[in-house]
Structure 1
Amino acid sequence: MQRKGPKSGDRVATLTLFCGLPGSGKTTLARRLEAEGKGVRLATDEWQDRLGVPHSESAFHERLQAALYQHALVLLRRGVDVILEDGLWMKAERAQKFADARSCGALIDLHVFDVDYDTLWTRLQKRNEEGASGAAPITSERLRSAWDLFEPVSAEELLRVDSHRTHSGGFE
Structure 2
Amino acid sequence: MSKKIMGLLAVFSLLVFAISCKDEVLPKPSSQLRLDYPVAQYVHYSGHCPFEFDMNEEAVIKEDKNCGFSIHYPKMKATIYLTYKTVNSNINVLLRDAQKLTYEHVIKADDILEQPYVNSDKKVYGMFYRVNGNAATNGQFYATDSIQHFVTGSVYFYAKPKYDSIMPAASYVKDDMQRLMETIKWTRGR
Q: TM-score, normalised by structure 1?
A: 0.28
* Higher strand proportion: 2
Q: Which has the larger radius of gyration?
A: 2
Q: TM-score, normalised by structure 2?
A: 0.26
Higher relative contact order (CA 8 A, sep 6+): 1
